[in-house]
Structure 1
C-alpha cells in the first residue's frame, strides 16, 4: 500500500467516523461530570450541618460571610455548568446526525438544569438569611439598655440572660404600639432552664429600674396620681414615655422598648437584657409558616367579640386535647378575651410560647425556613445584636426540650394590679429563680384569678407543661 497524500485524509476521516457512537459516550461523561461534584458537595454540606461547628454557625449568622457565600455559590455553579458543557463537547463526535445532536443537547441542558436548581436555592436561602439578619438584628445593638458584653463573653459572666417578650397591637415600627402581652424569659446560660414571668397589661404604678433616668422622672412609679388611668398602665409605657420624654434615654433605635425594659426590670426586680417585639396581628403568619402549633384547649376561647361594646364573638375555639391550630386560630387563642379575663389570656400566651418551642424542630425549621424568615422580617423587632446571634443559637439548643417554669402575676388575695405590692413581686421572682434557697417568710400568694391553686403560687412557679395540660374547665365562656 502506498502512503501518498491521497490516503492520509481518507485514513483520518475513517478514524473519526468509527468512534464508538455519536453522543452516547459524551453523555455518559457529562453525566459523570454532573454527579461527581454533586456527591462531593452533598457530602461536604452534610458534614457541615452534622458537625455544626462554631465556624459553620458563625458563617450563617454573619451578613458579610453570607454575601461571600452567595458569591461563592454563583462561582461554583458557573464552573460546574462549564465543566459539564466542555466535557460533553470534548467527547462528542464532530459528525453527528441532527436528531442525535438535538437529543444530546437537550439532555445536557437537563443536566445543567439539575445543577442549577439546588445551587440557585442554596444561594436564595443564603440571601434570605442575610436579609433577615440585616433587617431584624441591629449591627450595633441599637439600644440604650443592653448589657456591655462581647462576642467572646456574650453573657458577661452572668448566670442568667433575661429576654423581654412583647406582643404589640400594631406595626413593629409604629410609635403608638401598645404592648398588650408582656412576658420575661429568664434563661440559665449554663443549663437552658427557663422561667417565664407574665405581667398584666393593666399593671399600675410600675416602678422603673432604680438608678435610671426614668426612675428619677417617676419617683412614685409610672403614674400621674390618677387611679385607673389607662394612659399609665404597663402597656402604655412603650408608647407614652417616648412621646412625653423624647431622647431622655440617650442614643437608641427604639425608645419605647428601652422604656418598657426599664419598667419590667423595676417591676420584677431583675435586669432586662434584651427585648423581642412581635406584631400580634402578624403572629398568625409566623404560626402558618411553622405549619401550625398544637395546644390543649381547656375552655371555649372566643374569636372576636368585644365585652365592653357588647359585641358577640364570631365563633369559638372549642375545648379539646392536642388541638392543631393554624395561624388565625392561634392568634385568637392568644388574644381571645370576650367573657374571660386578661389573666386567662396570659396563661394561654405562655402555653403558646411553650407550643412554639416544642414545634421548632431543626428539620421543620430547615424545610420551612424561607417562609419563616419572610414572616419574621415583617413582624419581629429586637435589640439582640448581630454579634451575639451564635451565642443565642447555642442557648436555644439548651432551652429546647427543657421544662419551662411559669410564674403569672394575676389578681389574687396577695396581688392586685391596681395597687401592686412590688416587694411581694420581687420576693416571688427571687424564689422562682432560686427555689432551693427560699427564705422563711417568703410570700406564698396565689395569683391565679383569685383561686387558691397553690401549684401556681408566684413564689414557686409551676411547670408550664403541667399548666398547659388538658384539664377542661367547667367555665364555658359565652
Structure 2
C-alpha cells in the first residue's frame, strides 16, 4: 500500500499524505466499477471518459512507481555492498513491472477502445435513422429495433461494393429475443416505402432498362447513389440509406440502423476472436467458379463442431461453387450465430486489441455513439435469448426473380408476432430455431 513504507520508517505525516489519496482513489474506483452494468457500459463506450481514464491510470501508475522507489530508498540499510544495491534496484523494478503491467494494459485497452468508437460511430449519420431516440429512451418507445447486417463484397476488379449478404435482425428491446430474415442477393423488384422519394422513381420496384444484374438487391447499395445522388437527403452513406429502404419496403418493416462488414474484414474479425465453431453438413468449395468452369482450389469437408479460422470461415460463408445462393445464405446465418457464440467476455478481453484493429478498418454503421450502451446491453440479452431465423428460398410461394411481396410481408409479420396458429411445418419460410437449423445433419 503506497505510504505504508513511510509510516513504518516513522515518517507519519508523509505516509498519511500518500496513503489517504490512495485509499480515496481505490474506493472511488471500486464504487464506480461496482455500481451496475450500465455504468460500466457508459464508460467503455464514451471516448472522452476512456481517454480520461487512460490518463488517470498512467499518471497514478507513474506516481505509484515513484513512491515505491522512494520507499525503497528510505528502508534500505545505510551500510550496504554494491551488489546488494544492484539487486535491490532490480527487485524494485521487477515489482513495479509485475504489479503495474495489468494497469498498463488497461490504459492501452482504454485508448484502443476510444479510437474504435470514434472511428466507427462518429460522423456516421444517415437520413434514415430514427429521429425520436435519446440515451434515456434509446428505442423511441419501440418494442423492437431492426438492424440490417450487410456483407460487402467489394474488391479488386469490382466497381464499388456489392452487398451480397443481406440479413435483417429484428430484436425485442425488452427480452432480446431475435428473428433474422435472410434475403437473396439476386432478388429483383425490391420495393421502397410509399413515403420515400425512391418510391416515386420506382413505383413498381427497383427495375429498369439494361443489365438485369444492375437491378438486383445487391446492386442497390452501389447503383442508387450513382443514379440519384442526394435523393434521400443529407447522409454520410447514401447506399446504406437506399438498401435500408429497399429491405424495409420489401418486408413491410422499418429498418432502423445498418452494420456493414467488408467480407475481407469478416476474415480478420474471425481470426481476432480465435475462430468460430460450426457444423459443416456438405462440402464447401474454396475459390472456383461454376459458370466459368474454374475448379476449386480446396474444400471444407463435412464434419461436426469444426473450428474454422478466418480464411476458412470466409469461404464457409461465401462459397458458391456447386451450391446456390440459398445454401450460402443458410451458412451465413450459421456463421453469424457462431460469432455471437464465440464472443464470450474472456475471449474479447484476451483478443481485444486485434479485434478492435480489425473492426476499425472494416466495420461501418449508422448506430449513433450515444446509443452504444443501450445496444451493448441488448447484445448481452441476445446471447441468452432465443434466436430464430427465416430464410427466403425458392419455393411455390417465393421466387427471387419475381417475388410475391405480400407473402414476404405476411411471413415477417407472423414471425415477429406469431398468431395463435403456427405456420405449416412444410412452409419454407417457417421460423426455425437457429441452434437447431445449424446442427450437424449431413446430407
Report the TM-score, using the length of structure 2 for normalisation. Answer: 0.90
Quick one: structure 1 residues 286 and 321, their matched pair in 2 at CA, closer, same or farther if it must change by over 3 Å?
Answer: same
Report the Cα distance in structure 2 between the residues aligned to 1:341 and 1:147, rounded to whole angstroms: 36
Quick one: structure 1 residues 392 and 335, their matched pair in 2 at CA, closer, same or farther if it must change by over 3 Å?
Answer: same
Pair 1:376-2:348 in alignment: no
Is the Cα contact below 8 Å between 2:32 and 2:39 reproduced in 1?
Answer: no
2:388 aligned counterpart, secondary structure = strand
Report the Cα distance in structure 2 between the residues aligned to 1:142 and 1:45, rounded to whole angstroms: 34
Deviation track 1:364-412 (CA, whole Å, cap 9, x = no partner) reads 1111111111111121111111100000011011100222111111111
Quick one: structure 1 residues 110 and 464, their matched pair in 2 at CA, closer, same or farther if it must change by over 3 Å?
Answer: same
Could you list the runs of 4 or more consecutive aligned residues of structure 1 that deviate by over 4 angstroms after TM superposition? 37-52
Is the Cα contact below 8 Å between 1:293 and 1:359 reproduced in 2?
Answer: yes
Runs of 5+ consecutive residues of structure 2 not aligned to the other structure: 1-7, 10-20
1:221 aligned counterpart, secondary structure = coil
Is the Cα contact below 8 Å between 2:112 and 2:356 reproduced in 1?
Answer: yes
Cα distance, 1:165 vs. partner?
A: 0.3
Is the Cα contact below 8 Å between 2:57 and 2:107 reproduced in 1?
Answer: yes
Pair 1:184-2:168 in alignment: yes
1:397 is matched with 380
Report the Cα distance in structure 2 between the residues aligned to 1:134 and 1:410, rounded to whole angstroms: 39
Task: Give the one of 457, 461, 478 matched to 2:428.
Answer: 457
Quick check: 92-101 or 405-414, which moved more? 92-101
* 1:151-230 equivalences in 2 (<5 Å): 151-170=135-154, 176-224=160-208, 229-230=212-213
Pair 1:113-2:97 in alignment: yes
Cα distance, 1:247 vs. partner?
A: 1.2
Task: Give the one of 61, 71, 85 matched to 1:87.
Answer: 71
Task: Give the one of 421, 424, 439 matched to 1:469.
Answer: 439
Pair 1:294-2:277 in alignment: yes
Task: Give the one of 21, 38, 42 matched to 1:54.
Answer: 38
2:15 is matched with none
Runs of 5+ consecutive residues of structure 1 not aligned to the other structure: 1-24, 27-36, 445-453, 474-478
1:283 is matched with 266
Pair 1:361-2:354 in alignment: no
Is the Cα contact below 8 Å between 2:129 and 2:366 reproduced in 1?
Answer: yes
1:399 aligned counterpart, secondary structure = helix
Deviation track 1:128-147 (CA, whole Å, cap 9, x = no partner) reads 000000111125x5111000
2:395 is matched with 412
Cα distance, 1:118 vs. partner?
A: 2.2
Task: Give the one of 53, 57, 65 matched to 1:73.
Answer: 57
Cα distance, 1:117 vs. partner?
A: 2.3
Quick check: 369-378 or 234-243, which moved more? 369-378
2:12 is matched with none
Pair 1:268-2:251 in alignment: yes
Quick one: structure 1 residues 374 and 207, their matched pair in 2 at CA, closer, same or farther if it must change by over 3 Å?
Answer: same
1:197 aligned counterpart, secondary structure = strand
Cα distance, 1:218 vs. partner?
A: 1.1
Report the Cα distance in structure 1 between the residues aligned to 2:304 and 2:329, rounded to whole angstroms: 19
Report the Cα distance in structure 2 between the residues aligned to 1:297 and 1:70, rounded to whole angstroms: 44
Deviation track 1:134-174 (CA, whole Å, cap 9, x = no partner) reads 111125x5111000111100001101000000000127xx9
Report the Cα distance in structure 2 between the residues aligned to 1:238 and 1:435, rounded to whole angstroms: 32
Cα distance, 1:325 vs. partner?
A: 0.9
Is the Cα contact below 8 Å between 1:166 and 1:275 reproduced in 2?
Answer: yes
Deviation track 1:293-344 (CA, whole Å, cap 9, x = no partner) reads 1111111111110011100011111111111111111001001110110000
Which is greater in Rg? 1
2:94 aligned counterpart, secondary structure = helix
1:281 aligned counterpart, secondary structure = helix
Quick one: structure 1 residues 75 and 169, their matched pair in 2 at CA, closer, same or farther if it must change by over 3 Å?
Answer: same
Report the TM-score, using the length of structure 1 for normalisation. Answer: 0.84
1:12 is matched with none
2:419 aligned counterpart, secondary structure = helix
Report the Cα distance in structure 1 between the residues aligned to 2:262 and 2:213, rounded to whole angstroms: 21
Report the Cα distance in structure 2 between the residues aligned to 1:165 and 1:437, rounded to whole angstroms: 30
Pair 1:143-2:131 in alignment: no
Quick one: structure 1 residues 39 and 470, their matched pair in 2 at CA, closer, same or farther if it must change by over 3 Å?
Answer: farther
Report the Cα distance in structure 1 between the residues aligned to 2:115 and 2:330, rounded to whole angstroms: 34
